[in-house]
Amino acid sequence: MNVLAIDTSNQLLGVALWKDNELKAEYTANIKRNHSIGLMPSINQLMKETDTSPKDLDRIAVAKGPGSYTGVRIGLATAKTLAWTLNIPIVAISSLELLARNIHNDKAFVSPFFDARRGLVYTGLYQRDTNDMKLVEKDCNILMTDWLTELQKLSSPVVFLSQDLEQHKKTIEEYLGENAVFPEPLLHFPRAGELAYLATKREADQTHTLTPNYIRMVEAEAKWLEKQKQDRSNHE
Amino acid sequence: MNNYILAVETSCDETAVAIVKNGTELVANAVSSQIDSHKRFGGVVPELASRHHVENITVVMEEAFQTAGITMDDITAVAVTEGPGLVGALLVGVNAAKALAFAHDKPLIGVHHIAGHIYANRLMNEFEFPLLSLVVSGGHTELILMKEHGKFEIIGETRDDAAGEAYDKIARTLNLPYPGGPKVDELAQKGNISIDFPRAWLEEESFDFSFSGLKSAVINTVHNAKQKGIEIKNEDVAASFQASVVEVLTEKTWRAAKKYQVKQVIIAGGVAANKGLRKGMEEKFRNENMDVFFPPLSLCTDNAAMIAAAGYIAYEQGHRADWALNANPSLDLENYGNKIK
Ligand SMILES: [Zn+2]
């Protein structure tokens, strides 16, 4: 199965090609740049070097967030259109799960996270289960301090993965002490190759209706819903 | 061999895909409007618009192909609105268009949104140069002179609000639901021009526009009347406001048309659907030896057919974008035209 994987959900740009049962090519750039400029040239380069035509693809894999709203949309707009026009399945995977998969220690709890400003993070809790990654707490948008209070209850080591680690390291240590585990630097970068491989084993999503996992509602919409609720209770 | 341009347009709140044959024949014009979703906020919420574009994009593409009865193999090139517009919204279209072109190894063309609005008319009538276009919408009020295909000279533009923006604000003052522009036009048809609102002519030779003074005058009038308990009819406010806008737009367009001795005048953009403006222009140009064109309603508001029509000219003139094409929310029309040689 030939899979093209796309991850533009955070600062890192990742594309990879899984072809003929192996990782053929993988490209990662960790540059602050608009993914709209970098994505298609990277795909083009990758396909050229591996002598692959779009028609050779069997599947598209995409990281669906959480992350940068714009970044996630660039990835999904590209992936959805490729899958639809090539008439091949699309597989969308959580950007947090993708990062968590860098950890291979059996039974380890893994908390990948992305900074979401004002003390908030996007995170979830995953656990290695021999060959797979189990979801323990689903992806959410939460105050880091609230999240750490929850993790304290586990009373066991938790591996933290993030490119924004430095910002939160002290707080994590304050809450979890010895149970806070920070692996070596390279493990904090999600791998598009992993995304491509994972997609070979996952069930496909519906191309037309596939949406990013923003986790957060549009602010205006959230306020509007809140107001509707208030108006209703005022009537009662 | 036939030339088929497929175009994608997502600069604001319409997800649109169209296919145009040989530059002038519209074979598919699919538009998914988000008006219902933005209505409750009284205006377009950019983040919400971007989200809807991602939800809709492949559905709208499919609809366009179904209507046209052709496949990607038949497509000559893929065109897309590069700017101006809401950056997050534009990005969805740009990346979807790139994916489509890449998957089938087709040329990619970036198109200026305003060039699109002007070229919508070429789906109805062949251009004759020199040509003057008044582009009026929620984001634009511009007088553009064209001496040849693909070249644009902005001879006048608004110094503050766009005409459509003024319409929306007046609609809000009169408590009309979003989108308010057409509602003001409707009310104006039933009212009398009984209030003397200002007309901003600016410097004598200027083809620029200004609507902020008019907007404030209308808001103050409504406000003062309410405070003093005087009843003024919304219909009359709308009619008087519209009379001011239409007079300035028609007079300046007419003066520019005379000065540059144009053969055609094209009114484009969302406000081109305005009945008062249509009537005003027809009266003003009745005795002139110039053709005045208004696109049909479906081509006035944002659509991808116009992007395909403009994209065809860009394609013929050799313009090609590369895979690094990005959205450009402040894309300049004159520079864009110069890029096409
Ligand atoms: Zn427009």
Q: pTM for the complete prediction?
A: 0.95
User: Could you tell me the distance, in angstroms and rounded to a whole number, from the CA of residue B161 to the centre of ligand 1?
Assistant: 15
Q: B203: how many CB neighbours lie within 10 A of its CB?
A: 7
Mean pLDDT of B280-300: 93
Mean pLDDT of chain B: 95
Binding positions of B for Fe cation are 113, 117, 302
CATH superfamily to which B4-119+300-340 belongs: ATPase, nucleotide binding domain (3.30.420.40)
Type of residue numbered B187: L
Q: pLDDT, tens digit, for every residue of B165-186?
A: 999 999 999 999 888 899 999 9
Helix (H) or strand (E) holding B266: strand B264-268
A199 and A170, same structural domain?
no
Torsional class of A51: left (φ above 0), alpha (ψ -120 to 50), beta (otherwise): left
**Nearest Cα to B34, choosing from B19, B20, B17, B46?**
B46
pLDDT-based confidence at residue B27 (cuts at 50, 70, 90): very high
CATH number of the structural domain spanning residue A156: 3.30.420.200
A22 and A48, same structural domain?
yes
Q: pLDDT, tens digit, for every residue of B66-86?
A: 999 999 999 999 999 999 999
Q: Which residues pair with A140 in a beta bridge?
A: A123
Domain with A111, as residue range(s), is: 103-188
Check whether B229 has a pLDDT greater than 70. yes
pLDDT at position B100 is 98
Mean pLDDT of B281-302: 93
A41 and A118, same structural domain?
no
Q: Which residues pair with B80 in a beta bridge?
A: B8, B110
Mean pLDDT of B201-224: 94
CATH architecture of B129-294: 2-Layer Sandwich (3.30)
* A234, part of any domain: no
- Enumerate the residues of chain A whose CB falls inside 8 A of the CB of residue B323: 40-41, 43-44
Mean pLDDT of A197-212: 97
pLDDT at position B40 is 87
pLDDT at position A236 is 63
- Where would I find the H helices in chain B? 35-38, 46-68, 87-103, 113-119, 163-173, 180-190, 212-228, 234-259, 275-284, 297-300, 305-316, 333-339
A118 and A84, same structural domain?
no
Contact B207, B255 (CB under 8 A): yes
pLDDT at position B341 is 47
Check whether B162 has a pLDDT greater than 90. yes
A86 and A8, same structural domain?
yes
Q: pLDDT, tens digit, for every residue of B107-149?
A: 999 999 999 999 999 999 999 999 999 999 988 999 999 999 9
A91 and A195, same structural domain?
yes
CB contact under 8 A, B326 and A41: no
Residue B230 burial (CB < 10 Å; 0-12/13-18/19+)? exposed
Please report, for chain B, the start and end positions of each structural domain, with discontinuous segments joined by +. 4-119+300-340, 129-294
Check whether B329 has a pLDDT greater than 50. yes
Q: Could you give the percent of chain A with pLDDT greater than 70? A: 100
Higher-confidence position of B335 and A149:
A149
pLDDT at position B43 is 84
Torsion sign, CA atoms B121, B125, B131, B134: negative
A64 and A129, same structural domain?
no
A107 and A37, same structural domain?
no
pLDDT-based confidence at residue A68 (cuts at 50, 70, 90): very high
Residues with CB under 5 A from ligand 1 (ion): B 137, 302
Among the residue ranges A90-94, A167-171, B109-113, B203-207, the one predicted with the least confidence is B203-207
Check whether B323 has a pLDDT greater than 90. yes
pLDDT-based confidence at residue A233 (cuts at 50, 70, 90): confident
Helix (H) or strand (E) holding A41: helix A35-49
**Nearest Cα to A72, choosing from B88, B12, B327, B110?**
B88
Mean pLDDT of A168-182: 97
Dist. CA B22–CA B308, nearest whole Å? 10
* A16, part of any domain: yes
Binding positions of B are 113, 117, 135-139, 168, 181, 185, 274, 302
- Enumerate the residues of chain A whose CB falls inside 8 A of the CB of residue B324: 37-38, 40-41
> Cβ of B66 under 8 Å from any chain A Cβ?
no
Give chain A's domain count: 2
Torsional class of B186: left (φ above 0), alpha (ψ -120 to 50), beta (otherwise): alpha
* A86: its two tokens: 């090539």
Q: pLDDT, tens digit, for every residue of A10-34?
A: 999 999 999 999 999 999 999 988 9
pLDDT at position A139 is 97
- Enumerate the residues of chain A whose CB falls inside 8 A of the CB of residue B104: 54, 85
pLDDT at position B12 is 93
A118 and A56, same structural domain?
no
Mean pLDDT of B142-157: 97
For helices B275-284 and B234-259, give the axis angle rounded to 10 degrees: 40
Mean pLDDT of chain A: 95
* A25, part of any domain: yes
User: Could you tell me the distance, in angstroms and rounded to a whole number, from the CA of residue B95 to the centre of ligand 1?
Assistant: 20
Query: C-alpha distances in angstroms, B169 versus A24, A120, A221, B184?
Result: 57, 37, 22, 10
> Tokens 């692959």 — which residue?
A52
